Chains A and B, each alone.
Chain A
Amino acid sequence: MNYLIRTNWWKWVVMILLVYTIVAGLVMAVPRLPILNETIRNLHFHVPMWFGMIFLFGGSVFHAIRYLGTKNLKYDAYSKALMDTGLLYGVLGITTGMLWASFTWGEPWSNDPKQNASAVALLIYFALMVLRGSLNDDQQRARIAAVYNIFAFAVLVPLLFILPRLTDSLHPGNGGNPGFNAYDLDNNLRLVFYPAVIGWTMLGFWIATLKSRYLLLEIKRDA
C-alpha cells in the first residue's frame, strides 16, 4: 500500500485495462452456449468482483498482521480501507450474481452452496465492521479488529473455495472438479477475462488508497 500511495503510473494501467475490458468484453466473439447466451459476457464483470474481493481482503489481513507486529496505526488504516473496499466488491459481486442468476438459473437465489457460502462470508466481514464501530480506543480497536480479521480470512478461504466444491453447485468449476476449463473459457474469453480481473482488482486498490489516505489524515488530526 505504501508503494501504491506513493506512485501514480498504475492508475493509467487500471484505466487502460478497464476501457479494454468494456470494449473487448462487449465486442469480441464469445462462445455460443445454451442458457447463457449473450450473458456469458458477465464473466468479465461479475467474476472479477469476487477476485477483487479476495485480493482486497488478502491485503487487509496482510496489513492487519503487520499492525500486530508493529502496533503502527498506519497499517490499521490500510487494513480498514482494504476491508471496506473488499466488502463493496463482495456486495457488488453478490448482487450482480443474483441479477445474472435470475436470467440463467431462473431465480435470484437458488440456495446454491457458493451463493450461501459467500453470503455467510460477507456477514462475517459485516460483523467485523460493526465490531470496529463499537470500540473507541484506537489501539484496542486496531488490535481486536486485526485478530478478528485473521480469523475471518481463515474462514473465508474454505467457505468460498473448498466447501462449495464438496457438493453440487450451479457455479461452474464446482461439484468436485475445480478448474478453469469448467468455465468453458475459450481463448477469446481468456483474452479479456485476465485483463478484466487485473483491472477491476486494481481499481479496488485505487479506491482503497484514497480511503486510507483519508484515514491517515484522521489519525494525524487526532495525534
Chain B
Amino acid sequence: MRKYIVTLLLLPGYIASVLAQSSDIEMADQFRGEGKIYIVIAVILLILGGIFLTLLRLGKKLTKLEQEIEDEKK
C-alpha cells in the first residue's frame, strides 16, 4: 500500500519533468520562426527541378536516338 502511495505522490513530478525535458530540447525554432527555412526549401527545389529537367531531356534525346536507329534498320 505504501508503495502505491509513494508512486502516486511522485507521479505528477515525473510527468512534469518529462514534459519539461521535451520542450528543453534544442530545435531550430528561431530559424524557422524567421521564415528562413523557406529560402532553404526554395534552393533545394530549384536544384531538384534542374535534376528533373536534365533527366527528362536525357530521356527525350534517347527516344530520338532510338527512333533514328530504328529508321536506319528499315
List A residues at the B interface (Cβ < 8 Å).
Answer: 11, 15, 18-19, 22-23, 26-27, 32-34, 37-38, 206-207, 209-210, 213-214, 217, 220-221
B62 contacts A210, C-beta separation under 8 Å: yes
Is chain A's binding surface mostly helix, strand, loop or mixed?
A: helix
Q: Is the interface of B mostly helix, strand, loop or mixed?
A: helix
A206 to B52, CA, bound (A): 10
CA distance A27 to B45 in the complex (A): 13
Complex contact B45–A19 (CB within 8 A): yes
Among B21, B48, B52, B66, point to the contact of A213 (Cβ < 8 A).
B66
Q: Give chain B's interface residue range (CB within 8 Å of chain A).
A: 20 to 34
Assess whether B15 is interfacial by the CB under 8 Å rule: no
- Please determine whether B48 and A19 come into contact, CB atoms closer than 8 angstroms: yes
Q: Do B58 and A210 have beta carbons less than 8 Å apart?
A: yes
Q: Which residues of B contact A32 (CB under 8 A)?
A: 22-23, 25, 27
Given known pairs A37-B25, A38-B28, the reply for A22 and B44 (CB within 8 Å) is yes
A223 to B40, CA, bound (A): 49
Contact B40 A26 (CB under 8 A): yes
Known: A34-B25, A207-B55. A26 touches B37 (CB 8 A): yes
Cβ-defined contact, B62 with A214, below 8 A? yes
B39-69, CB < 8 A from A = 40-41, 44-45, 48, 52, 55-56, 58-59, 62, 65-66, 69
For B22, the chain A residues whose CB sits under 8 A away are 32
A18 touches B48 (CB 8 A): yes
B34 within 8 A of A: no
Can you list 10 residue pairs at the A/B interface with Cβ under 8 Å?
A: A11-B55, A19-B48, A23-B41, A26-B40, A38-B27, A207-B55, A210-B55, A210-B58, A213-B59, A213-B62
Query: B59–A37 contact, CB under 8 A?
Result: no
How far apart sit A12 and B44, CA to CA, in the bound complex (Å)? 18
A88 to chain B, nearest CB (A): 13
Q: How far is the CB of B43 from chain A (nearest CB, A)?
A: 10
* B55 near A27: Cβ-Cβ < 8 Å: no
Q: Is B27 a contact of A26 with CB atoms below 8 Å?
A: no
Residues B1-39 near A (CB distance < 8 A) = 21-23, 25-28, 37
Report B-chain residues with C-beta under 8 Å of the C-beta of A18.
Answer: 48
